[in-house]
């Protein structure tokens, strides 16, 4: 990953300082994620517990099944977030390099993937269709900021990042079997 832009006021709160091994984030990525989360939680809560306009599917799928699905989403999200955060911020790479091990070998954006799983988990709890529609918009926003970061990574690492992109999916983890790996 490449250097974070700490000159911008949007990044002045960063604790990693001028680490040359970290990727530059989209300047509005953090703010956008916070706004998206707040908006999602408001829409989800209002529709799920007060107005109940678009929660009709919850009448057909038992709460126990929905909670199991939500719980799985939350558990996987916590795992991806914890491991990827640990790899990104606790390991200094000198010289900087493409991170392609651990959860980064399963998906190119494990922190964003974990955030998206949290949204999916909330959706499963009540099956609010309004929150599902908002989730689609949020996913498009995450894809937008991921494309920005991938452009920066491509500029920084060239062929190494191209090779990584070819073998690792952007959003949906592909579990690799030791017996079926390509040469």
In this structure, what token pair is assigned to residue 123? 């959706």
Amino acid 92: pLDDT:
79
Q: What is the pLDDT of residues 22-68, one digit of tens each?
A: 778 899 999 999 999 999 999 999 999 999 999 999 999 999 999 99
Q: What is the mean pLDDT of the chain?
A: 87
Q: What is the mean pLDDT of residues 144-158?
A: 95
Question: Between the CA of residue 70 and those of 123, 125, 126, 163, what are the distances in Å?
Answer: 8, 6, 10, 34
List % helix, strand, coil for the chain (3-state, nearest 5). Answer: 65, 0, 35
Question: ∠ at Cα 119 (116, 125), nearest 5°?
Answer: 145
Amino acid 89: pLDDT:
85
CB atoms near residue 149 (< 10 Å): 19
157 versus 94: the higher-pLDDT residue is 157
Confidence of residue 93 (pLDDT cuts 50, 70, 90): confident
Confidence of residue 17 (pLDDT cuts 50, 70, 90): low
């Amino acid at each position: 990953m490449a250097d974070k832009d700490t000159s911008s006021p949007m990044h002045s709160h960063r604790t990693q300082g001028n680490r040359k091994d970290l990727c530059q984030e989209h300047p509005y990525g953090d703010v956008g994620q916070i706004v998206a989360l707040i908006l999602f939680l408001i829409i989800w809560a209002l529709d799920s517990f007060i107005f109940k306009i678009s929660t009709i599917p919850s009448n057909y799928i038992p709460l126990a099944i929905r909670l199991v699905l939500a719980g799985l989403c939350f558990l996987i999200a916590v795992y991806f977030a914890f491991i990827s955060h640990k790899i990104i911020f606790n390991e200094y790479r000198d010289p900087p390099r493409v991170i392609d091990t651990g959860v980064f070998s399963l998906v190119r954006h494990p922190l964003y993937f974990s955030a998206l799983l949290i949204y999916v988990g909330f959706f499963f709890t009540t099956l609010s269709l309004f929150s599902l529609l908002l989730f689609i918009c949020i996913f498009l926003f995450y894809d937008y900021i991921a494309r920005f970061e991938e452009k920066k990574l491509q500029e920084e690492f060239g062929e190494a990042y191209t090779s990584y992109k070819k073998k690792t999916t952007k959003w949906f983890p592909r579990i690799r079997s030791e017996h079926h790996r390509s040469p």
